[in-house]
Amino acid sequence: MLRGLTTTNFVVDDLDSAVTWYTELLGIEPYFVREAEGATAYAEFRIGDFQHELGFIDRRFTPPGRGSTELGSALTYWAVDDVQAAYQRLLSMGATPHEDVTERGPGFVTASVVDPFGNALGVMYNQHYLDVVESAKGS
C-alpha cells in the first residue's frame, strides 16, 4: 500500500521567515507557492537526489488540530496509488480521521489520519513522485 515517502510538511508561524531561511540552507527557491486570502499560505521545495518535497504551511491555513502541540507540527505523506482506498484501510485498522481526501491540484490528492498511537499519518497520490520513479527506471 505505501510506496515510499513523498512529502513532509511543517507548520510554521512565520512562513516568510521559514522560506527565507530554508532558501538559504538549501540554496534554491521554492518551486511552488500557494496564496490564500492575500497571503502566502504554502511553499514547497524539491530537494535531494529523488526530489523529495519539503513544504511549509502557514499555521493560519491549517485544518483544525493540525500543527497543535497534541500532534506536533510535521506531517509526512506516503505515496499511494489510490488515496481513497488507503484512507479507508487506515480507518478500518483503527486510525481516526484527521483530514478527509482532498484534491490539492492536478496530480496531487491527500488524506491523513491519526494512528492508534496518536501520530498523524498522511497518504498522497503524487504525480511528481511517479514521474521521479519512472525517470529512475530509465537511468
Which CATH number fits the domain that encloses residue 62? 3.10.180.10
Domain that holds residue 96: 4-138
pLDDT at 43 over 60: yes
Computed over every residue of the chain, the mean pLDDT equals: 88
Q: What is the pLDDT of residue 72?
A: 61
Q: What is the pLDDT of residue 90?
A: 94
Q: How many domains does the chain have?
A: 1
Cα–Cα distance measured from residue 19 to residue 56, given in angstroms and rounded to the nearest whole number: 8
Q: What angle do CA 53, 104, 50 make, to 5 degrees?
A: 20
pLDDT tens profile 2-40: 888 889 998 888 899 999 999 999 999 999 999 999 989
* Strand 32-36 versus strand 74-79 pairing type: unpaired
CB-based contact 78:121 (threshold 8 Å): yes
In this prediction the pTM is 0.75
Give the confidence band of 136 by pLDDT, cuts at 50, 70, 90.
confident
CB-based contact 137:124 (threshold 8 Å): no
CB-based contact 72:11 (threshold 8 Å): no
pLDDT tens profile 110-125: 999 988 877 788 999 9
Per the listing, cell 489520519 goes with 113
